[in-house]
Structure 1
Amino acid sequence: METDGPGLIFTILSFLLALTILVFVHEWGHYIVARFFKVRVEVFSIGFGREIYGWTAKSGTRWKISLLPLGGYVRFFGDADAASKGAANLDSTLSAEERAVCFHFKPVGQRAAIVAAGPLINFLFAILIYFGLFMSYGQPVQPPIVAGLAPDMPAQAAGLQEGDRILSVAGHKIEDVRDLVRTVSLYPKMAVDITFQRHGQRMDSRVTLAEDLQVDRFGNEYRRGLLGVQLDAPTEIRTVGPIEAFGDSVSETLTMARMMLTATGQVIMGIRSLDDLGGPVKIAKVTGEQASLGWLAFIEFVALISINLGLVNLFPIPMLDGGHLLFHLFEAIKGSPVNARIQEMGYMVGFALIIGLMLFLTLNDLQSL
């Protein structure tokens, strides 16, 4: 049943809370590894623009909250801007002591580690969230055993029968019902390979999945793949220890990352509509909706956004961490930094791409709302 969504103020506050947590985690990853390599950090900012509150630590870092809360940055000694582009004429203006603490004079491996630490700690943060949830609530387990078949649906066409255990779909291992639902949902109206087990014998089939338009309690529509099986095996809550919980947390994070990359790839290849991409307005809306369902749903959603933030920042686009890593890779191969003019052009193109995409997604979000 469709219900009214949370209020505007609640949605904005929930979104800002989630964004602030994730931006802090991401930038802290850059910060802590930079400090490990003895790089001087001049600014740690949550948000952009004019400072509204801040303080200077004994290390000399200015910690601050800025006016525009849509992101954040860490500025290292020697940076010309928040994108960590090196200031002009660093070679001739810095002393030996200053070079020792300047990001741009550190070995390329250390600079790459500092850049990669932001996205990687987003993945680690999601792993820690899942670890806490699994340790606190256990793991729900429901075996993917077919209990019935819907008539004239893909499962029937694939030759599935009652009692079959589904082992994989589209090459992805299926261990429980949750894996099955997640994987099938990614491939509406697409042909997939299905492997299942019948009386101890492995069998393979290929079938085109159906499409199901689902509407959640807030009226959001989702286009998902549909196999057409009934799965009535009882769900058990399995208690896990720390080692197993950590392994499950890593697996859950990798599964979510795989699903996000698969969906993004489908959009790029034109298989999925651009409408399936969400911009800041849509993310804020869903954040408020999840927060209205309780703190547990909110925390799980924060884990998903943290994984998404880590993935997006690893895309090889200048201005993003992935773009910086690409330049560092070229430098490591070439033995010298990429030409400053090429880097400048890359940053300009990257900035234009990011701004253009954000504008498109925002307009798309507003139109869908």
Structure 2
Amino acid sequence: MSHILGPVWWLIVTLGLLITFHEYGHFVVARRLGVKVLKFSVGFGPALWSRFDRHGTQFVIAAIPLGGYVKMLDTREVEGTVGPTGLAGAFDRKSVGARMAITAAGPVFNLAFTIAALWFVFMIGKPDLQPLIGSVDHVAASSGFQVGERITAVGGRTVDTWSNAIGALAGAGLDRRDVVVDVVDAQGTAHQRTLALSKLPADVDERRLPVEIGLAPPRQPIPPVIGDVSADGAAAKAGLAPGDRIVSIAGDPIKDWRDVSDAIQKHAAADRPLEVSVERDGRVQAFAVMPKQGEPDPGAADAKPRWLIGVGVKPVELLYDATLRYGPLAALGKAFSETWNQTRDTLGLLGRMVTGQASVKNLGGVISIAQAADSSAQGGLVWFLTFLAAISLSLAILNLLPIPILDGGGLLYYLIESIKGSPLSDRVQIAGQYVGLVLLVGLMGLALYNDILRNVS
């Protein structure tokens, strides 16, 4: 049950915090510009908590934490006679510039949250891996890269961690574009190598891009200790239990968890059990495990079904060997540059999905967010803040898309109004809202569909 409650809880924390911050942007700017705010709601649906402030604004926490809104006084929604002063704070009576400022405030506040979160991350210290090459294969091997080299820049973009290096390579990989990579070898000599990403197969699954590129950090050991056992799996039926350390499979010694899958695929068959020897309470015991065939690995180059025995690895802490830590001023500069890099990468990915260069499978919905929120929260404050920064930036970018019903759609309406000198007709605006709603529901449906596929495949 904890594997469900944890992600749900951290999803609520994540969306609750970021949505509140987004809506507070609309709220505070509206108040500053003299607009009367009727309601500030975090969530939709029935109210779980509600109160009014001295200005008559109702603050609500609603039951469905998947959004929020700020409702402002609007003359088009007022019925009856309210007198000349009753509409003084109406949103639609403000100038175009004021309405644009109020509408843009939500995404701007999300952007500010991103910068602030990353600022704290870089002051506290963000753990990562050094950009050292631990193995070379596929395209990287044919491009001349060597084990032990340190990546210093990708396409002219300086990198100081493995995460930055892979992030910089991802865009070029999606574009199938050759990229110049600066490296320093073990003797301290600098080299420039051209990573021939144009040679990547056009139809390769994007989840296999890191494998096909062929660069990986030095391999860290993963003890072959069982962390969980599927209740209806072959291992459970044979008597294996969490905490068992796998010693051998079909006679092949197991030194690392990565050896487990290789040995199972090598020796498994439908007509005979696997002999799995484990160390338990200081004694080695052998179990006869009858493997089952599962679905092919979605990231594998072939489509062969994989043999499964129903065990998972005991989580281990990654041994980071680099920490990005700066003083307050330098950390702020780093936060701005990291926000810019993430914005550029996100917009680049969206553009590639629109043009078909990247698959829409890259879209993730609430299930992916919940799982990532839980995982980052388990990693500690720095990783959770880094995750919040990324989601906040994504919310800012999403809301600025020129889709009616989103903030970007509203800004588009006001831009047209400023050009033509009068607002669009109510009929056009309402039609746009319907179109925007269909697009948004379709986008959310696609993201949810991708989430389900990831979790059942």
TM-score (norm 2): 0.67
2:90 corresponds, among 88, 102, 105, to 102
Q: Do the aligned residues in 1 keep the contact of 2:38 with 2:56 (CA within 8 Å)?
A: yes
Aligned partner of residue 401 in structure 2, secondary structure: coil
- Which residue of structure 1 aligns with residue 428 of structure 2? 342
**How many residues get paired?**
343
For 1:65 and 1:269, the matched residues in 2 are separated by 40
- Which residue of structure 1 aligns with residue 349 of structure 2? 263
For 1:238 and 1:280, the matched residues in 2 are separated by 30
- Which residue of structure 2 aligns with residue 62 of structure 1? 58
CA RMSD of aligned residues (A): 3.2
For 1:236 and 1:259, the matched residues in 2 are separated by 23
For 1:55 and 1:351, the matched residues in 2 are separated by 30
Q: Do the aligned residues in 2 keep the contact of 1:154 with 1:209 (CA within 8 Å)?
A: no
2:108 corresponds, among 120, 141, 158, to 120
- Which residue of structure 1 aligns with residue 169 of structure 2? 184
Aligned partner of residue 97 in structure 1, secondary structure: coil
1:41 corresponds, among 33, 37, 40, to 37
Aligned partner of residue 422 in structure 2, secondary structure: coil
AA matched with 1:74: V
Q: Deviations for 1:187-218, whole angstroms, at most 9, x for unmatched residues?
A: 44622321537899995746117879xxxxxx
Q: Shift in Å at residue 123 of structure 1?
A: 1.1
Q: Shift in Å at residue 180 of structure 1?
A: 1.4
> Which of structures 1 and 2 has the bigger CA Rg?
2
| Range 126-135 or range 222-231, more displaced | 222-231
- Which residue of structure 2 aligns with residue 173 of structure 1? 157
AA matched with 2:380: G
For 1:12 and 1:98, the matched residues in 2 are separated by 43
- Which residue of structure 2 aligns with residue 207 of structure 1? 196
For 2:167 and 2:216, the matched residues in 1 are separated by 15
- Which residue of structure 2 aligns with residue 217 of structure 1? none
1:23 corresponds, among 19, 39, 51, to 19
For 1:15 and 1:75, the matched residues in 2 are separated by 25
For 1:282 and 1:141, the matched residues in 2 are separated by 24
Q: Shift in Å at residue 230 of structure 1?
A: 6.8
2:76 corresponds, among 70, 75, 87, to 87
Aligned partner of residue 305 in structure 1, secondary structure: helix
Q: Shift in Å at residue 183 of structure 1?
A: 1.4
Aligned partner of residue 329 in structure 2, secondary structure: helix
Aligned partner of residue 73 in structure 1, secondary structure: strand
AA matched with 2:37: V
| Range 37-46 or range 177-186, more displaced | 177-186
- Which residue of structure 2 aligns with residue 283 of structure 1? 369
Q: Deviations for 1:205-246, whole angstroms, at most 9, x for unmatched residues?
A: 46117879xxxxxxxx944435445778x9554642222111
Q: Do the aligned residues in 2 keep the contact of 1:141 with 1:238 (CA within 8 Å)?
A: no
Q: Deviations for 1:151-206, whole angstroms, at most 9, x for unmatched residues?
A: 5x33344455786865333xx61232332121113444622321537899995746
Q: Do the aligned residues in 2 keep the contact of 1:187 with 1:224 (CA within 8 Å)?
A: no
Aligned partner of residue 191 in structure 1, secondary structure: coil
Gaps of 5+ in 2: 219-319
For 2:419 and 2:193, the matched residues in 1 are separated by 44
Gaps of 5+ in 1: 79-85, 213-220
AA matched with 2:357: I
Q: Shift in Å at residue 338 of structure 1?
A: 1.7
AA matched with 1:17: V
TM-score (norm 1): 0.81
Q: Deviations for 1:219-278, whole angstroms, at most 9, x for unmatched residues?
A: xx944435445778x955464222211111111122222222222222222233322211
For 1:230 and 1:68, the matched residues in 2 are separated by 42
Residues 363 and 9 of structure 1, relative CA distance in 2, 3 Å threshold: same
For 2:195 and 2:125, the matched residues in 1 are separated by 37
1:129 corresponds, among 110, 117, 126, to 117
For 1:337 and 1:157, the matched residues in 2 are separated by 59
Q: Deviations for 1:303-357, whole angstroms, at most 9, x for unmatched residues?
A: 1111111110011000000000111111111121122221111111001111122
Q: Do the aligned residues in 1 keep the contact of 2:134 with 2:216 (CA within 8 Å)?
A: yes
Q: Do the aligned residues in 2 keep the contact of 1:150 with 1:156 (CA within 8 Å)?
A: yes
2:47 corresponds, among 38, 47, 51, to 51
Q: Do the aligned residues in 1 keep the contact of 2:135 with 2:217 (CA within 8 Å)?
A: no
Aligned partner of residue 69 in structure 1, secondary structure: strand
Alignment identity in percent? 31
Q: Shift in Å at residue 38 of structure 1?
A: 1.1
AA matched with 1:67: A
AA matched with 2:196: V
For 2:59 and 2:182, the matched residues in 1 are separated by 55
For 1:230 and 1:353, the matched residues in 2 are separated by 39
